[in-house]
């Protein structure tokens, strides 16, 4: 600065152009910090949320990604991940009773227990994909039609794979209860089951099925839950307690936006996502990256599109008698979904 005198003869400092530019830059930084501080002050402390998930499931990686990348905080949330690997009805119960505020899971696994009336609302989604069906070529199973009279190995008789592929088989002209046999085996024994002739196909999810295919010769892809009319359909959904929707809708909306944002990040950064998820898995990062490449993390409907997909799946599950004959798919979808973003 230069020193000058004012008209009263008092010396003061004069701002040069360079001083003004420097001050403006500093003010900009201070202003940004001030805006952040003001936002934090206005918004108050981060809203604590308990989010239930299965820490072994790479398809639910939006949760750790949102934590690692600060996405939850960006949306005003302090999220605690609750690892839950039990039955789906137990998961929905802890959400319905607010022991957890929300949960991530597969829609093919959630639809049936939601019919029971749990106070859980589906508010968002993360991606499509997750389930695959492979045939054992040495047993003559190379296409869906070859499954007639055959046994399909699953790790869970209530698995998303069994539910979804029962629908696909029905639409292909096969009766999923009479024309095929579903048999349960431990997840790591599915490959051995087909090699020993105890099963002729496998319905499961990745990365387990990917690893089985690598060590079991003769397995060929038959279908996935992205086949045909399902190519753009979602799979993993976000459910929140009814109490959260009723009492703190902004928090439910913030959580939904955060999961969507994290899903977009995964779509653009599968390698970084594999790194973030790797502490939760014994599977090599390269295999996690391969699995992420099969998922459609840009497919995450909310609002009416999500409700429409719930109704679509409800019709499918009613077709194969997973849902009761008395269940109306449209009313069911309207009941279990909530639009928290409009």
Residue in this structure with the two tokens 């108050």, named with its chain if needed: 44
d(CA 214, CA 146): 23
The answer to whether residue 22 scores a pLDDT higher than 80 is: no
Its pTM surpasses 0.95: no
Residues 192-244: tens digit of each pLDDT = 999 999 999 999 999 999 999 999 999 999 999 999 999 999 999 999 999 99
Q: Work out the number of other CB atoms within 10 angstroms of the CB of residue 24.
A: 11
Coil vs helix vs strand at 87: coil
Give me the mean pLDDT over the 10-30 stretch: 38
Contact 237, 122 (CB under 8 A): yes
Those residues whose C-beta lies under 8 Å from the C-beta of residue 204, and which sit 6 or more positions away, are: 131, 132, 153, 154, 155, 159, 161, 187, 190, 212
**Is 80 exceeded by the pLDDT of residue 335?**
yes
Which of these ranges, 19-23, 57-61, 174-178, 190-194, has the smallest mean pLDDT?
19-23
C-alpha dihedral, 104 to 108 to 111 to 112, nearest 10°? -120
pLDDT digits (tens, 9 = 90+) for 271-323: 999 999 999 999 999 999 999 999 999 999 999 999 999 999 999 999 999 99
- What value, to the nearest 5°, has the Cα angle with vertex 332 and ends 123 and 315? 105
- Where residue 12 falls among pLDDT bands split at 50, 70, 90? very low
Examine the pLDDT at 44 and tell me if it is beyond 80.
Answer: no
Q: Dump the DSSP string for 21-60.
A: HHHHHHHHHHHHHHHHHHHHHHH-SPEEEEEEE-TT-GGG
**Two tokens, residue 237:** 């959904």
In a 3-state reduction of DSSP, which class is residue 336? helix
Tokens at 190, concatenated: 């599915």
Confidence (pLDDT) at 18:
38
Report, as an integer, the average pLDDT of 150-171. 94
Could you list the beta-strand ranges (E) of 231-276.
236-241
């Amino acid at each position: 600065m230069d020193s000058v005198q004012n008209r009263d003869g008092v010396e003061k400092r004069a701002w040069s152009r360079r001083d003004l530019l420097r001050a403006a830059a500093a003010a900009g930084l201070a202003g940004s910090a001030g805006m952040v501080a003001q936002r934090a002050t206005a918004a108050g402390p981060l809203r604590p949320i308990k989010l239930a998930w299965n820490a072994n499931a790479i398809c639910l990686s939006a949760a750790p990604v949102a934590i690692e990348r600060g996405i939850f905080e960006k949306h005003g949330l302090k999220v605690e991940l609750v690892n839950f690997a039990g039955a789906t009805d137990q998961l929905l119960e802890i959400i319905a009773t607010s022991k957890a505020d929300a949960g991530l899971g597969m829609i093919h696994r959630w639809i049936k227990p939601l019919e029971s009336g749990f106070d859980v609302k589906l508010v968002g989604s993360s991606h499509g994909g997750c389930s695959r069906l492979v045939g054992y070529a040495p047993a003559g199973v190379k296409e869906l039609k070859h499954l007639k009279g055959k046994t399909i190995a699953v790790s869970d008789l209530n698995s998303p794979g069994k539910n979804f592929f029962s629908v696909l088989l029905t639409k292909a002209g096969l009766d999923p209860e009479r024309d095929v046999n579903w048999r349960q085996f431990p997840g790591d024994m599915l490959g051995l089951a087909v090699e020993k002739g105890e099963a002729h196909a496998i319905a499961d999810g990745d990365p387990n099925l990917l690893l089985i295919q690598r060590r079991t010769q003769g397995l060929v892809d038959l279908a996935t839950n992205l086949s045909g009319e399902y190519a753009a359909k979602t799979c993993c959904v976000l459910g929140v307690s009814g109490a959260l929707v009723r009492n703190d809708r902004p928090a439910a909306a913030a959580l939904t936006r955060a999961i969507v944002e994290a899903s977009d990040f995964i779509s653009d950064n599968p390698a970084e996502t594999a790194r973030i998820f790797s502490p939760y898995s014994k599977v090599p990062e390269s295999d996690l990256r391969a699995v992420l490449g099969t998922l459609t993390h840009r497919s995450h409907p909310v609002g009416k599109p999500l409700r429409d997909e719930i109704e679509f799946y409800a019709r499918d599950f009613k077709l194969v008698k997973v849902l009761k004959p008395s269940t109306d798919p449209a009313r069911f979808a309207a009941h279990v979904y909530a639009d928290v973003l409009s």
